[in-house]
Structure 1
Amino acid sequence: MNGFLGSYKRKDSKEGFLHEVAAVCVLTGKILLQNGAETYRVEDTMNRIANSFSVHDAQSFVTPTGIIFSIEDHDVTQLVRIRNRGTNLRKVTQVNTLSRRVAHGEVSLKDLHRDLLQIDRSTVAYSNSLQILAAAIASSCFLLMFLGKWQDFLPAFIAGGAGQAGMIYLHKLAKVKFFSEFMSSIFIGMVALVSVKLGIGVEMNKIIIGAVMPLVPGVPITNAVRDIMAGDLVAGLSKSAEAGLTAFAIGIGVTAAIVLG
């Protein structure tokens, strides 16, 4: 897809131009879907970009694992598989801002493709160490929010950081999200159990609840509900199943840690 605009100079060729528009729209949808956007937002953004370039007969079909974009009455169809999905609302915001500029006629097709590639290739907004620290602090705050005791603040801090570190580094080793979530929950359960046995912590349940909150799939659950309400039943049910599997992995991991301990 990266070199599809090499034929942009053939703009006099309507068929070539339509292929270029389709490829840009698919790239836009791919970035949005991979970074946590809702299904209806992905389809709407793709269609709006196509309309901005005077392509008014475009149709898009989006599922959590793939995107199909087609232009009616022309032999133009683009398909892309989505294998990795996460949550990076910064990229979603950047693409939304760019699409609004396109709608106002401020960005050409070639510039749009260049900017989309920059967004797609950009690294995560925060370093791994900062993500771990943020998860640790959030876990401690969740503990207090659930009426935990101040004595459990440090164990929740350590457990939350350990869980996030496990998520990050185990996912690099095994590209199976269920496995990394399961092992991270085991780390959290073990830290909570050890802290209580050593007398550092008091309420193991509160420590675990606070520490697993950063792992809870809040965005997927929200998107699943919004997709179902918007009528995208396939995407909504798929995301609901994915979120449910994540919750199951967290529960089984914590239970395994307590039983083994």
Structure 2
Amino acid sequence: MYADTQNDITRQVVRAAQLLLAYGAESDLVEEISQRLGRALGLASVELSISSNALVMTSLVHGRCVTTTRRIREHGINMAVVCELQRICLLAEKGLYGPNEVRKRLARIHPRSYPRWVVIPVIGLSCASFCHLSGGDVIACLITFLASACGMYVRLILAARHFNVLVNFAITAFITTLVAQLGYLKPITATPQLAMAAAVLMLVPGFPMINAISDMVKGHMNVGISRWGQATLMTVSSVIGITIAMQLGGLL
């Protein structure tokens, strides 16, 4: 293998690893896919060092090493991107994709997201379902739907304007809790507390916490602790927004 070919394949593999980390894959999966993709494209071995905001990759072919570093910028969780990268790896292992095809596929990867008019009512319905499962009456469920839908709308608007995620969570929790307090203004529901509790469940950072625990259990302590810290800060931001809204509503 020529040096230029090794350099090109290394860039493709590190790009795949960069995308996996940016869109929410756990560290163990990133290592596995990178090593498998590298071997499928002709590299003898691929070694990765992953930190909280960067990765270092070294490829080896006939005693020649190539090391490259990439910065990781999180783009939110998107399992469609992760699945597409796994599919590229599988097709490369089967011999259907060579370096050129992998390069083209990687260049065409773009995150796909559902439109707002689908996400907002579905999030509202899911939070209202939690309220119902917790014993909330019909009015409480309707208040939960309205509050969580309003909060999700604000969250998507702030995300589109690239607000810091912690500021986003705090403002979203504030707006959601304000709307959820409708049940306390007039005696229209017997379970207003369930509406308030269920409306903010959309802000629970479950996926980052799961990834954090998975990384720490599998030995990636630095990345796991970093993800756990980020999830904790997101939770604290939500609590701050909820507390301010409850103080304004006279509930604290």
Q: Same fold judged by TM-score > 0.5? A: yes
SS at match of 1:76: strand
Post-superposition offset of 1:203? 2.9
Find out whether 1:48 has 2:36 as its counterpart: yes
Q: Deviations over 1:113-152 (max 9, x none)?
A: 1112212x34x23112211121111111111122222221
Q: Number of matched residues?
A: 247
* Aligned counterpart, 1:183: 171
Q: Select the residue among 131, 140, 149 that pairs with 2:137.
A: 149
SS at match of 2:56: strand
- CA–CA distance in structure 2, aligned partners of residues 29 and 44 of structure 1: 10
SS at match of 1:175: coil
Q: How does 1:87-106 map to 2 (within 5 A)?
A: 87-106=77-96
Q: How does 1:202-213 map to 2 (within 5 A)?
A: 202-213=190-201
TM-score (norm 1): 0.89
Post-superposition offset of 1:99? 1.0
SS at match of 1:190: helix
- CA–CA distance in structure 1, aligned partners of residues 188 and 67 of structure 2: 61
- CA–CA distance in structure 2, aligned partners of residues 201 and 37 of structure 1: 42
Q: Deviations over 1:178-212 (max 9, x none)?
A: 00000000011100113431444443331122121
Find out whether 1:172 has 2:160 as its counterpart: yes
Post-superposition offset of 1:215? 1.7
Q: Deviations over 1:150-183 (max 9, x none)?
A: 2211110011111111111112334310000000
SS at match of 2:244: helix
Q: Deviations over 1:66-105 (max 9, x none)?
A: 1211124435222221222311111111111221111111
Q: How does 1:210-229 map to 2 (within 5 A)?
A: 210-229=198-217
Residue type at the aligned position of 2:179 = V
Post-superposition offset of 1:244? 0.7
Does structure 2 conserve the Cα–Cα contact (< 8 Å) formed by 1:225 and 1:236?
yes
- CA–CA distance in structure 1, aligned partners of residues 189 and 170 of structure 2: 23
TM-score (norm 2): 0.92
* Aligned counterpart, 2:72: 82
SS at match of 2:108: helix
* Aligned counterpart, 1:256: 244
SS at match of 1:92: helix
Residue type at the aligned position of 1:97 = R
Change (3 A) 1:128 1:74: farther
* Aligned counterpart, 1:22: 10
Q: Percent identity?
A: 21
Does structure 1 conserve the Cα–Cα contact (< 8 Å) formed by 2:21 and 2:74?
no
Q: Select the residue among 70, 87, 104 that pairs with 2:58.
A: 70
- CA–CA distance in structure 2, aligned partners of residues 106 and 75 of structure 1: 26
Q: Deviations over 1:23-64 (max 9, x none)?
A: 111111122112111011111111111111221232111234
Post-superposition offset of 1:20? 0.8
* Aligned counterpart, 1:244: 232
Does structure 1 conserve the Cα–Cα contact (< 8 Å) formed by 2:35 and 2:45?
no
TM-align CA RMSD = 1.7
Q: Name structure 1 gaps, 5 residues minimum.
A: 1-12
Q: Select the residue among 207, 230, 242 that pairs with 2:218.
A: 230
